[in-house]
Structure 1
Amino acid sequence: MKNLILLKSTKLMAFAIALMLTTVSVTAQTNVYDDIIATSSNHTYLKAAIDQQGLASALQNSSSTLTVFAPDNDAFDSLAVKLNTDINGLLALSNLTDILLYHVVGTEISSASISNGDIETPLSTTNTLKLTKTSAGAVFANHSKVNTPDLNADNGVVHSMNAVLLPSETVVDVALDNGFSTLATAVITAELLPALTDPFATYTVFAPTNDAFDSIAVKLNTDINGLLGLSNLADILTYHVLGSKVMAADVTNGAVVQPLSTTNSLKMTVTSDSKVYANQAQV
């Protein structure tokens, strides 16, 4: 009888220990909000925005797998200056929830897993995120650079960022949505996405069609891969971009304009039948 009681006691103790370990395991689970964002002295504005919009519980969810591109305090200060407001003004934005969800992807993306040109769909469906990994290893989401990568929690990863992401349409979106696939590939290859996805920049892009790229490849006795391998690809592409918005109707015949590339100027022509040219290329 004593042996039987001892056996039962041993089983009961083992069950209690197992239950205790299970409880400890559950309570010890970390999450991207409580253990990274909320504890960071560099992300207090982000925490305030998340708390105000009631989004903390989504980031605390242990069954979720998340990537958070987390703007630091300096990023919020910079955005406030650009919008001519302050932090309270940012917290009062009508689309603040959408802006915050634009920083969160429903999968875990480590910096090592990012490929140059990756396009991710965040929890906000207003726009996609365009990712850049440069040849030097720098990582960008749109125009915002990762300044501290791979802050890991059990339910995902946080990448600290130096700029707030806005889901605004940019010239990159226009190119992607209108079939300029070779141009988009060239922009990605030349690592120009961060510049062209800046929501506060104003551009005019004279955008070569896919046929235009095919034509120049033939003339250079190469193919698209050969064009993408040109050492001056970035200079060629920025030669197609003006740092201001110019509608076709506003172009004047004989205008000489300076693109982002300083190698040469663009010479504009408007014919008597209102056709517009940049150098030899017709709009």
Structure 2
Amino acid sequence: MAISFACSEDDEPDPITTEPEGQNVVDVASSNDDFSTLVSAVVEADLAETLSGPGPFTVFAPNNDAFSRFLEENNLTAEQLLGNENLAEILTYHVVPGEIPSSAVEAGAVNSVANSTFYISVAPDNSIWINGNTRIIDTDIDASNGIIHVLDNVITAPEYSIAEIALAATESSEPEFTQLVAALSRAELVEAVSGGSGDNLTVFAPTDAAFEDLYDVLGVTGVDEIPLELLTSVLEYHVVPARAFSQDLRQGNDLPTLLNGQTLSVDLENLQINESGLIATSLNIHATNGVIHAIDRVLLPAMGEEVSATITLDNVGASAYVISSINGEGASGELDVENAAITLQAGLRYTFVNDGGSAHPLDFRDSEGNILLAQGDQEGSFEGDSEVAFEVDGANVSFTLTNGLAEELAVYRCTAHPSMEGEIIITD
């Protein structure tokens, strides 16, 4: 697959001309001042002779600016880098056996001479990235024993799994992901996000603030109060079984998740996954077994199979509803009594089955008569709330009774016949 390598006008590098025939990759780098740090590192690591050999090699070469960026981001000096006992391994992570011109570069995993894998991504603008944080800014510099592509950063192989990175974040000076780690532990999913390069996962990781917002919605104080089955489903909904860096995402894509049959929607224009915002400063956290993207809201899957109780209503002409049955937990009311009060519990999901038919569309209102949810043509104020997850399927009306909805919900009523109205009582 032919790929063009795009740069912005602001950071387009000076053109590097093809070197004369007969110069190997070390000679080519040595003849260009922009690679002086790389050459010093190659010499210090005793790799000059190897990279001057017959090859062929493809070298992904950080320029001096790339090394400066890497040193600053990792709080290192040049002397510390050159004295690193793993310097040879760091450098050979940038070298691939064989000659790979830009026309042959494709998205996917690449095994380096260091026997560690790095990952190439093609962004929507056709720019090429490695491990989500390093861009190829120039290509196809020929040498007698291979070819050089220029990088704007130094690439390093990940050392820790997703689980280990999240745990380390909880112990940092500014702790993060404490609630995510607690949730994974309670749901016994820590092992599922641990592993090596063979386990390709992407975790959309809610911040602690995102979990606190979820607790408010569910009316709980922490992960220990969330039903285990629900908690497990929510966590699985945040994991995609593929290593997807931000540059791999595409507008409108549906990403499969570990929660069977449930997908996530990508909105690059608004930097969102479903209704949750991607945190731009915390993307592409690379792990041995995948990648982490931080998000600002806990993603809730469609809850159609998580109904706590089903309330079936029938009608007495156009004068009253009656409850014909209640199945499940978290709901109560007298059966066969006209316009009986129904008691519901905040934080649970309910389905109302309206056997009164289309002539008696069901809605739910506040104490002032404003429609919150409606089965028919009326539009309620909570119908667009993703956490309420309002659904109408024929006679079935389903919703999650969030704290926000519970604070306003007062009655159920027939939209066409106001006399068909009963009280709704909310309990914790």
- Please report the TM-score for the alignment, with normalisation by the length of structure 1: 0.58
Output one character per residue of 1:146-188: Cα deviation in whole Å (capped at 9) or x when no partner: 1111111232111111101112236689585335489254725
* C-alpha distance in 2 between matches for 1:74 and 1:32: 19
Q: Which residue of 1 aligns with 2:298?
A: 266
Q: Which residue of 2 aligns with 1:16?
A: none
Deviation, structure 1 residue 115: 1.7
* C-alpha distance in 2 between matches for 1:92 and 1:108: 30
Q: Which residue of 2 aligns with 1:235?
A: 272
Q: Of residues 39, 62, 66 in structure 1, which corresponds to 2:57?
A: 66
Q: Of residues 169, 183, 208 in structure 1, which corresponds to 2:240?
A: 183
* C-alpha distance in 2 between matches for 1:169 and 1:112: 31
User: How has the CA–CA distance of structure 1 residues 153 and 238 changed in structure 2, closer, same or farther, with 3 Å as cutoff?
Assistant: farther
User: How has the CA–CA distance of structure 1 residues 53 and 155 changed in structure 2, closer, same or farther, with 3 Å as cutoff?
Assistant: same
Larger CA deviation: 177-186 vs 130-139: 177-186
Task: Judge conservation of contact 2:21–2:143 (CA < 8 Å) in 1.
Answer: no
Q: Which residue of 2 aligns with 1:129?
A: 118
User: How has the CA–CA distance of structure 1 residues 76 and 237 changed in structure 2, closer, same or farther, with 3 Å as cutoff?
Assistant: farther
Q: Which residue of 1 aligns with 2:31?
A: 39
* C-alpha distance in 2 between matches for 1:53 and 1:267: 47
2:32 aligned with 1:29, yes or no? no
2:148 aligned with 1:158, yes or no? yes
User: How has the CA–CA distance of structure 1 residues 161 and 266 changed in structure 2, closer, same or farther, with 3 Å as cutoff?
Assistant: same
SS in 2 for 1:119: strand
Q: Of residues 119, 127, 131 in structure 2, which corresponds to 1:138?
A: 127
Q: Which residue of 2 aligns with 1:216?
A: 262
* C-alpha distance in 2 between matches for 1:238 and 1:145: 29
Identity percentage of aligned residues: 22
Q: Of residues 92, 100, 109 in structure 2, which corresponds to 1:101?
A: 92
* C-alpha distance in 2 between matches for 1:149 and 1:108: 12
Q: Which residue of 1 aligns with 2:311?
A: none
2:47 aligned with 1:55, yes or no? yes
- Number of aligned positions between the proteins: 198
Deviation, structure 1 residue 131: 0.6
Q: Which residue of 2 aligns with 1:3?
A: none
Q: Which residue of 2 aligns with 1:89?
A: 80
- Structure with more helix by fraction: 1
Deviation, structure 1 residue 267: 8.0
SS in 1 for 2:147: strand
SS in 2 for 1:37: helix
Higher relative CO (Cα under 8 Å, sequence separation at least 6) belongs to: 1
SS in 2 for 1:42: helix
User: How has the CA–CA distance of structure 1 residues 124 and 239 changed in structure 2, closer, same or farther, with 3 Å as cutoff?
Assistant: farther
Unaligned runs of 5+ in 2: 1-19, 163-193, 203-238, 250-254, 284-292, 301-386, 389-428
SS in 2 for 1:105: strand
* C-alpha distance in 2 between matches for 1:49 and 1:91: 6
Deviation, structure 1 residue 96: 0.5
User: How has the CA–CA distance of structure 1 residues 170 and 184 changed in structure 2, closer, same or farther, with 3 Å as cutoff?
Assistant: farther
Q: Which residue of 2 aligns with 1:6?
A: none
SS in 2 for 1:45: helix
* C-alpha distance in 2 between matches for 1:50 and 1:186: 31
* C-alpha distance in 2 between matches for 1:237 and 1:102: 36
Deviation, structure 1 residue 216: 1.7
Deviation, structure 1 residue 70: 0.6
User: How has the CA–CA distance of structure 1 residues 261 and 80 changed in structure 2, closer, same or farther, with 3 Å as cutoff?
Assistant: same
User: How has the CA–CA distance of structure 1 residues 102 and 179 changed in structure 2, closer, same or farther, with 3 Å as cutoff?
Assistant: closer
- RMSD of aligned residue pairs (Cα, Å): 3.7
* C-alpha distance in 1 between matches for 2:275 and 2:128: 21
